Structure 1
């Protein structure tokens, strides 16, 4: 399948779980299509890029390790994503990477995720936190920053500052997640 053919196929992806799963399974069965999917995903001003992001997120939920050969591409471009419906899946994939990286179980992400990759993810998640994003990307970013922040002295204090500063102006969902993350930061600091 060419990039143009994949682009046309992505026209059939919609919000339904069924469609997203169908195309995620197509990627899982044909990992050689991933570079093409990422090319489309990072055409950030194109509405079809959103559909590519949805498919990529579902694929990563099934098998996060498929991203390993493309970590440079992914982390170099995530900061460019700006369309609301694409930001959420990017933030979720960052969280999936952080969860795999900090997992107690041995996995490929632990060995493949470099300092540079983590720094780019942290930078993007802080951007999601301070920009006018919806609650879901902020919630995923909070958790990602908490998890990856264990390796950096400055991340948790900066995250706590942002959460406390924005607390009163945010939704009840943001407040609940922020309280949870602030408790975890305090507990980690007290150790």
Structure 2
């Protein structure tokens, strides 16, 4: 492990400018991406959350960088328990569902769909739920069975959640009609 790079991640914060600094550092030094992925995928590492925050910003700009790590990434997504990790991971799943250039295998799609449904019905923060419902909506265009399950969950849970959840659910339900 590159200790200087590890310390850079360890000293980072949730502030947007700080996460953008890490993102830009990785984009200028792509050989460091593997180290960042290793940290992010190790939920026993106390700084894996910070690594996930940076991955979100990296993949927002260059999603194709995930390709060498896609299998490992998707193998881990269901095991993250921390809400601060679930939010950026769920957003990366949304990026994958929107991508026109990355062709996911059936097993990749299944893993994302199952995990997003789990996040949607579990006690997760609103942002994770919103990214999950958006991801499921996008996959529902290819897999119509998702739409009925998504409608049911959003309709049943609508009044149990915050205004932010309700706004996102209302938007998705409107699109599903």
Give the Å deviation of 1:4: 4.2
| Corresponding residue number in structure 2 for 1:100 | 99
Give the Å deviation of 1:144: 0.3
CA displacement, residues 125-146 of structure 1 (integer Å, 9 cap, x when unaligned): 1111011011101111110000
Q: Between 4-13 and 20-29, report the one with greater CA deviation.
A: 4-13
Give the Å deviation of 1:39: 1.4
RMSD of aligned residue pairs (Cα, Å)? 1.4
Length-normalised TM-score, structure 1: 0.87
SS in 2 for 1:152: coil
| Corresponding residue number in structure 1 for 2:80 | 81
Q: 1:3 to 1:75 in 2, by over 3 A?
A: farther
| Corresponding residue number in structure 2 for 1:104 | none
| Corresponding residue number in structure 2 for 1:37 | 36
Distance of 1:26 and 1:152 partners within structure 2: 38
Give the Å deviation of 1:93: 0.6
Length-normalised TM-score, structure 2: 0.94
| Number of residues of Structure 1 aligned to a counterpart in Structure 2 | 177
Give the Å deviation of 1:3: 4.6
Distance of 1:137 and 1:37 partners within structure 2: 22
Distance of 1:66 and 1:159 partners within structure 2: 30
| Corresponding residue number in structure 2 for 1:176 | 167
| Corresponding residue number in structure 2 for 1:27 | 26
Distance of 2:69 and 2:24 partners within structure 1: 18
Runs of at least 5 residues in structure 2 that lack an aligned partner in the other structure: none
CA displacement, residues 81-103 of structure 1 (integer Å, 9 cap, x when unaligned): 111111100011111111114xx
Kindly indicate whether residue 3 of structure 2 is the aligned counterpart of residue 8 of structure 1: no
Q: Which runs of structure 1 show a deviation greater than 6 angstroms over 4 or more consecutive aligned residues? A: none
